[in-house]
Structure 1
Amino acid sequence: MKSIPSPLIRENPTALYLQISSLLREEISSGLYEPSGKLPSEAELQARFNVSRITVRLALDQLVEEKIVERKQGKGTYVFNKQLRYGLDTLRSFHETLVIQGLKPEMRLLSHRVIDIPENLKSTFSAETIQSLFIERLHVVDNQPIAIGKSHLLAEVAAVSLDTIESQPSYKVIETVTGLKVERAELSITAQLADVKHAKALEISPGMPLLIMKRLSYLSNNTCCDHSIFYIRPEHYEFVLSSHFKVS
C-alpha cells in the first residue's frame, strides 16, 4: 500500500502531531487503507513525516481517542471497527469471501482425520456415505484469528495432500476430487458464547459472543458434500444480503 506524500508545514502553528493526525484522518476517509484497514507502522510513519516516534504516537493517540483507529497489541494500528463482509447471496467459500475483498487470509490446519459419519449427520449425507473427512481450520487475517471452521467433507477428499487442504478452499478441493460443481448451499446464522477452547484459539475471553454460521453444501448431482460450522468473532465481521422486490 502506497501512502500519499503529504509534507508537513513546519512553520505552521498547529502542532506537528495534530497535522499528522489530520492527514491520516483524511486518508482513512478516502479509503486509502482498505481493505484490511491496517495503517503503516509507527516506524514507517516516523520515516514518512521525518518526526520523532513520540510525535507519531501522539498523532495516533489522537485518532484512538476519536475512535477512528484502534491499536491491536503485537499486530499494529487499524481503522476502528473495520468490517469484513460475507455476502449471503453468492455461493463462495468462507476463505474466498476474504480473498475477493483484497485480503490475504491464511488457513491453519488444526486437525484432520477420517471418521465415521456422526449420528446426527447420517440423514444429511447419502446412505452410501459411511465416513467423512473431518477438518478443523483457523482462519487468520493480518495474524489475527477471525474464525474457526469445522467441516465434514466427503471421505475421498482425504486423498488430497495436507498442504492442499490447508491452503485451498473446501469447495475448490471438493470440485477437484469429485469432478462436479458445488451448486447450492443452505446457510443458517445464530450466536452463542465462546467456550474455553474456542476462546483460546480465537484469542478472546471465554463467554464472549460468537457468530455461528452453519453450512450444508450440495454438488450438482444433489449429493451433500460438506457440512461446516464456523465460529466467528463478530466485532469485525458482518453478513450482508442484497434483495429485490419481485414485480407481480
Structure 2
Amino acid sequence: MQANSAKNASPRKRATVRSDPARANRDDDSKTPAATRPAAEGAPLLNRESAVALYMQIADRLRSDIDAGVFAADSKLPAENELTRRFDVSRVTVRQAIAQLLAEGYVVSKQGKGTFVSRQKFLHDLKPMRGFYDALVAQGVEPKTKLLEFKPASAPENVRQAFGSPGDDCFQLKRLYLVDEEPIALVISTLPPEASGLTWEQANRNPIYVLLENLLGLSVTRAEMRIRARSAGTSVGQLLGLPPRAALLVLERESFAGDGALRERTTFYIRPENYEFSLSVQGPLPVGSSIKNVSATAGNGREGKSSAN
C-alpha cells in the first residue's frame, strides 16, 4: 500500500554566470584558451577564464532560465545544435550540461522527442499503508493505467510455499501507470494462485490491494518495502520511454496476512525525475558511544578513541 503524498515542486537554486568574451566553435572546449571574439548574437556569454567548467556554466544558465519560467514545466529545451550555436561550444559540452540537469532532475529525456523540463515531483510517504494508485490519487493526480499482462506464471518454489500453494501456478500482473499520457512507472506483481478467479477486466480496473482484499477476500495487514536504484535496461526502458542506461527508482514490496502468509510480491520501476520517497521516524536516537581514531591508530599503533556526540 502506498503512502499519503503531497505534490510539491523541488526547490531550485538560481545560479549566476559572469559574462565574458566567447570563442569560435572547436571540437574540444577544454583545450581552447580564453578568446576575445564575441559569441553569437543574443547568446549568453560564458566565462572561459573561470575555474568552473563550461558545461557547468551552461547547466547553471539553463537551470536559472527554468527557475525564472523562461522554460515552463513540460516544455522542450532547445535542440543540441541550437544550444551549441547559442553558447559557442562543442556538442560534447552541451551533452555534458544536459546530463548534469538530467542527474539533478531538472529535465527529462523522452526517447525520440528530446529533452523536456521536469514536472513537479510526487512525494510518496512510506509510513502509512497505501497502494501506488491511491498514493497518486491522494495528491490530486488521476493516473491512467494500462494492463499489459495478466496470466498464470511460474514462480520459485519458496514463493509458492510462501503463498501456501506449493503445487499451483501463481499469476503475474504487469501494469503501466501514466500521468498526462506519459509513463511514470511499470509495475510487475506476482499474485497467489487464488488470482485465477479474477477476470482480465477486474485486473484491468482495480489496484492490487483491491484485487486481494475486496475481490479475493485475502486480507493484508503489513508490508515490507525496499528501495534501490538500477538502470532501466532494454525491456523496461522501452515501456517507460527511457534509454537502457537511464536510472530508475525501484521499489520492491511484499505484503503479508496476519499469520505471515505472503499475499503479493511487487516490483515498481519508477522514473526518478518526478518521484520522491519520504519517511518520518521518531526517536530516541541510539548513538554510538565512541569512534575509532584512525590517525591515532596509524601514528602510534594504539587504538585511539574519541567521544562521539
Contact 2:232 2:247 in 1 (8 A): yes
Aligned residues: 189
Q: Which residue of 1 aligns with 2:132?
A: 94
The CA distance in 2 between the partners of 1:120 and 1:64, in whole Å, is 52
Q: 1:58-111: CA deviations, max 9, x gaps?
A: xxxx99923343335699xx9845111221101111111111111111221111
Q: Which residue of 1 aligns with 2:228?
A: 190
The CA distance in 2 between the partners of 1:143 and 1:116, in whole Å, is 32
1:236 partnered with 2:274 = yes
- RMSD of the alignment, in Å? 3.0
Distance 1:80 1:146, change over 3 A: closer
Q: 1:125-152: CA deviations, max 9, x gaps?
A: 3254622110100011111101100001
Deviation of 1:174 after TM superposition, in Å, equals 0.4
Runs of at least 5 residues in structure 2 that lack an aligned partner in the other structure:
1-5, 10-61, 77-109, 287-309
Contact 2:165 2:193 in 1 (8 A): no
Q: Which residue of 2 aligns with 1:118?
A: 156
Contact 1:109 1:136 in 2 (8 A): yes
Q: Which residue of 2 aligns with 1:104?
A: 142
Q: Which residue of 2 aligns with 1:137?
A: 175
Instruction: Identify the range of structure 1 (124-133 vs 138-147) with the bigger mean alpha-carbon deviation.
Output: 124-133
1:65 partnered with 2:103 = no
**Secondary structure, counterpart of 1:205 in structure 2:** coil
Opposite residue 70 of structure 1, the aligned amino acid is: A
**Secondary structure, counterpart of 1:210 in structure 2:** strand
The CA distance in 2 between the partners of 1:80 and 1:150, in whole Å, is 25
The TM-score, its normalising length taken from structure 1, stands at 0.67
The TM-score, its normalising length taken from structure 2, stands at 0.55
The CA distance in 1 between the partners of 2:75 and 2:188, in whole Å, is 27
The CA distance in 2 between the partners of 1:64 and 1:113, in whole Å, is 49
Aligned pairs (5 A) from 1:70-81: 70-72=73-75, 80-81=118-119
The CA distance in 1 between the partners of 2:227 and 2:167, in whole Å, is 26
Structure number with larger C-alpha Rg = 2
Aligned pairs (5 A) from 1:7-22: none
Distance 1:232 1:66, change over 3 A: closer
The CA distance in 1 between the partners of 2:202 and 2:279, in whole Å, is 31
Higher strand share: 1
Deviation of 1:240 after TM superposition, in Å, equals 0.7
Distance 1:107 1:80, change over 3 A: closer
Contact 1:84 1:237 in 2 (8 A): yes
Contact 1:106 1:167 in 2 (8 A): no
Distance 1:113 1:36, change over 3 A: farther
Q: Which residue of 2 aligns with 1:25?
A: none
Question: Alignment identity in percent?
Answer: 29
Opposite residue 96 of structure 1, the aligned amino acid is: D
Q: Which residue of 2 aligns with 1:29?
A: none
Contact 2:150 2:203 in 1 (8 A): no
Contact 1:180 1:220 in 2 (8 A): no
Instruction: Identify the range of structure 1 (130-139 vs 62-71) with the bigger mean alpha-carbon deviation.
Output: 62-71
Deviation of 1:205 after TM superposition, in Å, equals 1.5
Distance 1:35 1:86, change over 3 A: closer
The CA distance in 2 between the partners of 1:89 and 1:229, in whole Å, is 18
Runs of at least 5 residues in structure 1 that lack an aligned partner in the other structure:
1-33, 38-61
Query: Displaced runs of 4+ in structure 1, greater than 4 A?
Result: 34-37, 72-75, 78-81
Contact 2:172 2:191 in 1 (8 A): yes
The CA distance in 1 between the partners of 2:120 and 2:161, in whole Å, is 40
Q: 1:28-83: CA deviations, max 9, x gaps?
A: xxxxxx9598xxxxxxxxxxxxxxxxxxxxxxxx99923343335699xx984511
Contact 2:145 2:175 in 1 (8 A): yes
